[in-house]
Structure 1
Amino acid sequence: MISNYFKIAIRNLFRNKVYSFINIAGLAIGLAATMLIILYSKDEVSYDRFHANNPNIYRIVNQWINPDGSVKSSDGNTGHLQGPKFKESIPEIKAFVRIKSDTRNIRKATEITSQEMLAVDSNFFSIFTFPLITGNPQTALLQPKTIVISEKMAEKYFNSTNVLGKTIEVMENDKFEPFVVTGVTQACPQNSSIKFDCLIPNVVAKEEFQNTDNWFNFFQNTFVLLDPKSDDKNVVAKMKRVYETDAKEAMKRMAKDYGIKESTRYLLQPLSDLHLSTQFIASNGLQDASNPTFSYILAGIAIFILIIACINFVNLTVARSLKRAKEIGVRKVVGGDRQQLIFQFLGESFTLCLIAFLLAILLVELTLPTFNHLSNKALALSYLFDIKLVLSYIGIFFLTSLLAGFYPALVLSGYNPVQTLYGRFNLSGKNYLQKSLVVLQFGLASFLIIATITIYLQFNYLTTKELGYDDKNLIMVEKWNMKHQEAQLFKDELLKNPNIIDVAPKNGGFWGTVAKVNGEKQLSFAYETVNPSYLPMLKIPIVEGRNFSPEFPSDSTNSVLVNETFVKEAGWKKPIGQIVNFWYDNNTKYSVVGVVKDYHFASLNEKIGSQLFTMKPKNDYGKVFIKIKPNTETITLAHIAKIFKQVFPISSYEYKFKEAENLKSYESEAKWKQIMLFGAVLTIFISCIGLFGLATLSAEKRTKEIGIRKVLGASIASIVTLLSTDFIKLVCLSFIFSFPLAYFSTQKWLEKYPYRADFNWWIFAFTALITICIALFTVGWQSIRAALMNPVKSLKTE
């Protein structure tokens, strides 16, 4: 019996090649998309779970609490004290390890390169599972000036992994020191938040441990290993008591000296929650911070595509039922009952789905490199064969087969044998389900089109909006701890090249601090150290007062510039001459000599904040902006590298173009722009092949009607319009529910951007136009074929 069902199913597949292809192709694409999304989601939730101690590893995180009890900010960083202080007083904490991001210069022969590394405590390998190829994990980081390197780095520098006892020159205290290689690790798993090529010991002076002010320093990650029997909530309560007791005097001093009214609360974050946390983000040496929203969006797209593929199957199977009416009638007359017919059609559904499933695996293999590029992953096809994934695929296979085949099986098995054998059978009713499924298909497709257009517009807005300064042909060269005299020497040498327009040093990274204005009012702001050429070179206007100038020698010690936002937050109507008091720095006071026009010194994902500029001599520079003439990049970069090596012979040279760096701020939007486009194209494609199949069947069912109309003088245009109108009505109907849903969803997504593109009515008009045109092309092509058919042949079909 089962073999007979299978034979009939195969015969029907080959007898109706077009419909079989449409069903199999649609299902295969839907299943492939679902498999890829499952791979992505599995990788996301698997982060950091490979560590043997994983269930008991937590990161110490903190929250700043306002006097009213609300949370001011959340952060995953700590200082030197939290780990040892908590372990010392809380028995449930078995060990702690601190991880600090560091960048050091490494010298090999005469080549100097900048290398990112992690400074960690000596018990790093006893808490985290990172196997060593060579070396003793217990002792590898015990001694200062030792280094553990990755297999990749060992091959790069020594062409071998057998490198124990060899040395690498690492810069420490402005000179190169030999660090002894004490271990070589395997490559870090790609689903690890901790990735490294170099590990060095985290050396902390005893004085740091005794200084309770270090409770308020946050610059590294601290992980703790808890006793498996402990309750993390109880540990958090004990941490609170330890902190309040040990830091009591320090808190009083901070409140008195700096006016800090907020309090700190320490919490524990499970290691397995780290990767997808949006509150306590993986940073400062931890990598690959993600957002669960990405998985939700991808899962939604996969479900959309799979639903549309199943809709195609149901629609086409029910629509083709008339062609199999006599077969069903004969089966019932010779004794076949409804249950057997249901199993027959479900068997055909399972056969189709099995073929589609196998084809889907092939599609996954072919598209995985592209998907990895879009999602910034390194997924491999071998991940598909994880036992849990295999079970999930089998579940999807059975669920899809049942969903796609159950309703058609019920409908087809219920035909009246007398009516079918006499050719008097027609699908009863108005085919509301079939029409509803078409509406749902194109509703989902138009929803994705609107979402894609919105993301494109926002990405275009972020990358083309004027930032308030000129970032064209602007090169950044980093050099940390650069004295003002060194910066001036570097600038003078660079300006000897006629291709270099101007040079301006600036502090490196982001500096933020507070000061008092209007007496006791405190203001937080971005703290910039620049020289007089910085603002003119970037074409940032002074809207009131003046810029720093060599004509005023006291500018470096007495004067500051502020931006317009600073003035607004300070409440000044006449800002020139106002005093900014750095009361915690020997009560130093500065006079405002100029107001800088607001510009986007951070990305457009953040509102413009308060900003203050100084020329303070003791503030070191960290980078140099170099403005060059257009189309001179190659020759000018060579000159910059040469001068840099002359002025800073033991520093590594790296450069970046400011314009390219600005674009990197929107990598997330760029990625989702591609993914949404990919999803929209797939959805439209599957919807169209389904619509094509329905249009073909509609034309076949109305063959005699078309012949009669042509004999009576109907034009080709009128016949095409007749066959297309019903489908176009359904497509237009889909806009009624998809447009409001798309508007609400995109507006919620845009709310997270302080600066965003306008959402205009033309987006809906364009979506409607492109959807209708695609549907017309799909249906119209088949309608034209039917309209061009010889009416004599059409009439002979009955």
Structure 2
Amino acid sequence: MVRNYFKIALRTLLLNKVYSFINVTGLSIGLAAAMLILLYTKDEVSFDQFHAHNPNIYRITNKYISPDGQHVGSMGNTGYVAGPAFAAGVPEIRAFVRFHGHRNDIKRGSEIKSEDIFRADSAFFSVFSLPLLSGDPKTALKEPRSVVLSEEMAEKQFGSRNVLGRTVLMKDSFDKDARFEPYTVTGVAKKTPQNSSIKFDIVIPMVIGPSEVHRATNWFNTFMNTFVLLAPGANIAHVERKMNLIYNAEAKEAIREVALKYGMKNKKVYTLQPFTDMHLSAELPSDGGLVGHSNPLWSYILTGIALFILAIACINFINLTVARSLKRAKEIGIRKVVGSGRRQLVVQFLGESFLLCVIAFVLALVLVELALPVFNDLSNKALALSYLFDTGLVLGYLALLFVTGLLAGIYPAFVLSAYDPVKTLYHRLQLSGKGYLQTSLVVLQFTIASFLIIGTLTINSQFNYLINKDLGYNDAHLISIDKPNLTREQAHVLTQELQKDPNILAVAPKNGGRWNTAAKVNQGKEIAFIYETVDPEYLPAIQVPVVKGRNFSPAFPADSTGSVLVNEAFVKQAGWKDPIGQIVDFSYENFKCTVVGVVKDYHYTDLNEEIGPQLFTMRPGNSYGRFFVKIKPGSETSSLRHIADTYARLFPLNPYTYRFMDDENRKRYESEARWRQIMLFGTTLTIFISCIGLFGLATLSAERRRKEVGIRKIMGASVASITRLLTSDFLKLVAISFLFAFPLAYYAMSKWLQNYPYRIGVDASLFVEAALIAVLVAFLTVSFQSVRTAVTNPARSLRSE
């Protein structure tokens, strides 16, 4: 019996090649999309799950409570003190690991390069399951001058992985007096897994002097990750309570001191975050040396796209099967007359559905293999086809295959098996319900397609807005070069040497990284701001105007000690009507300065962050960490050569790297660019599957109305009028779909755009453009078959019975 069902199903699929092709193509694309998304989702939810000590690894975090008891913010980083203090006073804490990343200079022969370096406590390899290929995980980070390399870094530095006992020359970039010191290789680590928040090439011990560990004010430093390993079954609430008791006792005087100096009114409360929650956490993401943080919103979007594509493929199957049912009516009638029961017919039609799904499933595996490189590039992953054969995923795919086959075949099977054999044999059968299900499914298809078109157009417009928006400064032909601990004297000599080349238009030093601090204005109001250390050439170099007052100038010697510039956002937050001459009080340093100029607001960071208060100073005690060089257009090659030669001559022991700021600014939106491409591919697939289904329906509709078309042509109807007749019904359904798609898309896109402080508006042009695309695509799809039917000789249509 099963063999007979299989033969009938296979014969039916082969006899109807066009419809079988449409269904197999649509289902295979839908299944392939679902498989790729399952791979992506599996990788996302499996982040950091491989550590043997999970779920007992936690990150120490802290939240801030305002005086009225409201939660005002959270932070995932701590300072030096929290880890050892809590481990010493909380019995449930078995071990702690502090983890901090920065850059050090490494010397190999005469070559010097700046590399990412991580510092970690000696328990690092004992707490985390990051196996060593060689070396003892318990002692690898015991000695102050030891270093553990990744297998890739060992190959890069020495050309071999067998490097235990060899030395690496390294210099601390934060210490201006540091020299290259030998570090002994005590371990070589296996490559970290793709789904790990901790990735490293070089790890050295966390060496902290006793004075730093016992300095009470270090409770308020937040620049590193601190992890703790708890005893199995530990009560998290009890551990957090003990941690805060220790903090409040040991930092009591420091809390009072900081409150007086900085006016800190918010209460700090230590909490614990499960290590495996960091990757997808919106409030406390993995940062401070940790990598791979992901926004869960994109996982939801990807999953939605995959479900949409799969749903449209299933809709195609149902629509085409029901539409073809009249052609199979006589077959069904004969089977019922000779004794087939409804159950047998249901099994037969479900069998056809599952056979088609199996074929589509095999083809989907091929499509996944072909699409993986592109998908990895778009999603910034390193997924492999071997991941497909994970036990959980295999079960997931089998469930997906079963559900798809059932959803695609269950309705047609019950509809077809219910036909009255007498009506089918006498050609009196008509589909009940006036085709409401079929038309509803077409409307649903194009609702989804139109929704995705609008989403893609919105994301594309927002991306173009981000990369083309005026930043408030000129980043063209502006080069940024890092030079840690650049002194005033060095900056002066560097500027003189670089400007010997006429292609160098300006040189301006600036502090490295991003400095944040706070000060008081109006005799008490505290303002947090970005703290910039510059010289008089900085603002002219990046072409940012001073809108009130004046810029720093050598004509005013006091500028370096008592004058500051502020931006417009600072003035607005301070509430100043006349900012010139206002006092900014750095009370924690017993230092006051006078505002001499107001700088026009410019986007000093990416457009995902609002412009905040910014203060510029020339204080001699602040160091520079980078400098900008403005060059003439078209002089890139000669200017870069002159800059590199000058840098190597003045700073032979420092690595030289440069970045063009316009390229750097574009790279800030790489995530948006990737997701724009993903949305475009998803929408294209959705439209394609919808169109091949619409093509199949149009073909069946034209076949059913063949005699009608023949009679109309004999009566004088033109090809254009017949084409209009055959396409109008489908275009009406596409138009109806807009009634559902537009409100949903408007709501969803408005919500999504709220993530951006600087954004486009969801205006009517997006919807008009989406409607034109959907109507044009549907018209081209349907009109092809309609024109073909309209030009057919009416004699052929009327002769056949």
TM class by shorter chain equals: over 0.9
For 1:375, the equivalent position in structure 2 comes to 379
SS in 2 for 1:55: coil
Indicate yes or no: 2:465 matched with 1:456.
no
For 1:656, the equivalent position in structure 2 comes to 659
For 2:777, the equivalent position in structure 1 comes to 774
For 1:327, the equivalent position in structure 2 comes to 331
SS in 2 for 1:94: strand
Indicate yes or no: 2:227 matched with 1:223.
yes
Supply the distance in 2 between the matched residues of 1:784 and 1:573 (Cα, whole angstroms): 72
For 2:135, the equivalent position in structure 1 comes to 135
For 1:168, the equivalent position in structure 2 comes to 168
- Structure 1, 427-436 or 682-691: larger mean CA deviation: 427-436
Deviation, structure 1 residue 245: 1.5
Supply the distance in 2 between the matched residues of 1:74 and 1:796 (Cα, whole angstroms): 79
For 2:619, the equivalent position in structure 1 comes to 616
For 2:669, the equivalent position in structure 1 comes to 666
Deviation, structure 1 residue 518: 1.2
- 1:248-280 Cα distance to aligned partner (Å, 9 max, x none): 111111112221111111111111111111111
For 1:107, the equivalent position in structure 2 comes to 107
CA contact (8 A) 1:80 1:209 kept: yes
- 1:590-633 Cα distance to aligned partner (Å, 9 max, x none): 11111111111121111111111111111000110010111222
Supply the distance in 2 between the matched residues of 1:535 and 1:603 (Cα, whole angstroms): 19
Deviation, structure 1 residue 162: 0.8
Indicate yes or no: 2:681 matched with 1:684.
no
- Structure 1, 781-790 or 250-259: larger mean CA deviation: 250-259
Deviation, structure 1 residue 72: 2.3
Indicate yes or no: 2:341 matched with 1:337.
yes
Which letter does structure 2 place at the counterpart of 1:14?
L
SS in 1 for 2:741: helix
Indicate yes or no: 2:50 matched with 1:46.
no
- Structure 1, 669-678 or 295-304: larger mean CA deviation: 669-678
SS in 2 for 1:553: coil
Match of 2:437 among 433, 458, 464: 433
CA contact (8 A) 1:58 1:223 kept: yes
The runs of 5 or more residues in structure 1 that have no matched partner are: none
Match of 1:269 among 273, 294, 304: 273
- 1:182-228 Cα distance to aligned partner (Å, 9 max, x none): 11011111100000000000001111222111111111100000001
Deviation, structure 1 residue 229: 2.0
Indicate yes or no: 2:708 matched with 1:708.
no
For 1:83, the equivalent position in structure 2 comes to 83
CA contact (8 A) 1:529 1:616 kept: yes
Which letter does structure 2 place at the counterpart of 1:144?
P
For 1:348, the equivalent position in structure 2 comes to 352
Which letter does structure 2 place at the counterpart of 1:773?
L
SS in 2 for 1:228: coil
Which letter does structure 2 place at the counterpart of 1:199?
V
Which letter does structure 2 place at the counterpart of 1:145?
R
Deviation, structure 1 residue 429: 2.8
Which letter does structure 2 place at the counterpart of 1:556?
S
Supply the distance in 1 between the matched residues of 2:385 and 2:476 (Cα, whole angstroms): 42
Supply the distance in 2 between the matched residues of 1:593 and 1:245 (Cα, whole angstroms): 44
For 1:291, the equivalent position in structure 2 comes to 295
Which letter does structure 1 place at the counterpart of 2:98?
R
Please show how residues 95-494 of structure 1 align to structure 2 within 5 Å. Answer: 95-172=95-172, 173=175, 174-494=178-498
Supply the distance in 2 between the matched residues of 1:657 and 1:71 (Cα, whole angstroms): 41
Supply the distance in 2 between the matched residues of 1:608 and 1:313 (Cα, whole angstroms): 52
Deviation, structure 1 residue 428: 2.5
Supply the distance in 2 between the matched residues of 1:470 and 1:416 (Cα, whole angstroms): 77
Supply the distance in 1 between the matched residues of 2:50 and 2:615 (Cα, whole angstroms): 46
Match of 1:499 among 478, 500, 503: 503
Please show how residues 497-576 of structure 1 align to structure 2 within 5 Å. Answer: 497-576=501-580
- 1:522-563 Cα distance to aligned partner (Å, 9 max, x none): 111111111101111111111111110111111101111111
For 1:761, the equivalent position in structure 2 comes to 764
The runs of 5 or more residues in structure 2 that have no matched partner are: none
Deviation, structure 1 residue 73: 2.1
The TM-score, its normalising length taken from structure 1, stands at: 0.99
Supply the distance in 2 between the matched residues of 1:225 and 1:303 (Cα, whole angstroms): 39
SS in 1 for 2:540: helix
SS in 1 for 2:434: coil
Indicate yes or no: 2:795 matched with 1:787.
no
- 1:448-471 Cα distance to aligned partner (Å, 9 max, x none): 000000011111111101011100
For 1:13, the equivalent position in structure 2 comes to 13
Which letter does structure 2 place at the counterpart of 1:568?
K
- Structure 1, 669-678 or 316-325: larger mean CA deviation: 669-678
Percent of aligned pairs sharing the same letter: 60
- Structure 1, 149-158 or 232-241: larger mean CA deviation: 232-241
Supply the distance in 1 between the matched residues of 2:139 and 2:526 (Cα, whole angstroms): 49
SS in 1 for 2:64: strand
Deviation, structure 1 residue 663: 1.5
SS in 1 for 2:55: helix
- 1:424-464 Cα distance to aligned partner (Å, 9 max, x none): 22223310000000000000000000000001111111110
SS in 1 for 2:655: coil
For 1:588, the equivalent position in structure 2 comes to 591
The TM-score, its normalising length taken from structure 2, stands at: 0.99
CA contact (8 A) 1:703 1:797 kept: no
SS in 1 for 2:324: helix
For 1:693, the equivalent position in structure 2 comes to 696
SS in 1 for 2:548: strand
Supply the distance in 2 between the matched residues of 1:555 and 1:102 (Cα, whole angstroms): 32
CA contact (8 A) 1:77 1:221 kept: yes
Which letter does structure 1 place at the counterpart of 2:630?
K
Supply the distance in 1 between the matched residues of 2:233 and 2:750 (Cα, whole angstroms): 47
- 1:25-58 Cα distance to aligned partner (Å, 9 max, x none): 0000000000000000000011111111121100
Deviation, structure 1 residue 717: 0.6
**Which consecutive segments of 4 or more residues in structure 1 shift more than 4 A?**
none
Supply the distance in 2 between the matched residues of 1:110 and 1:769 (Cα, whole angstroms): 63
SS in 2 for 1:759: coil
Deviation, structure 1 residue 634: 2.0
Supply the distance in 2 between the matched residues of 1:618 and 1:226 (Cα, whole angstroms): 43
Which letter does structure 1 place at the counterpart of 2:624?
Y
CA contact (8 A) 2:477 2:631 kept: yes
CA contact (8 A) 2:378 2:678 kept: yes
SS in 2 for 1:430: helix
CA contact (8 A) 1:59 1:222 kept: yes
Supply the distance in 2 between the matched residues of 1:189 and 1:323 (Cα, whole angstroms): 56
SS in 2 for 1:719: helix
Supply the distance in 1 between the matched residues of 2:72 and 2:170 (Cα, whole angstroms): 40
Supply the distance in 1 between the matched residues of 2:131 and 2:339 (Cα, whole angstroms): 68
CA contact (8 A) 2:262 2:519 kept: no
What is the root-mean-square deviation in Å for CA atoms of aligned residues? 0.9
CA contact (8 A) 1:117 1:197 kept: yes
Indicate yes or no: 2:61 matched with 1:61.
yes
Which letter does structure 2 place at the counterpart of 1:572?
W
- 1:488-544 Cα distance to aligned partner (Å, 9 max, x none): 111111111111111100011111111111111111111111110111111111111
Supply the distance in 1 between the matched residues of 2:433 and 2:123 (Cα, whole angstroms): 74
Supply the distance in 1 between the matched residues of 2:631 and 2:74 (Cα, whole angstroms): 41
For 2:736, the equivalent position in structure 1 comes to 733
Deviation, structure 1 residue 87: 0.9
Which letter does structure 2 place at the counterpart of 1:625?
F
Supply the distance in 2 between the matched residues of 1:120 and 1:725 (Cα, whole angstroms): 69
Supply the distance in 1 between the matched residues of 2:800 and 2:69 (Cα, whole angstroms): 81
Deviation, structure 1 residue 758: 2.4
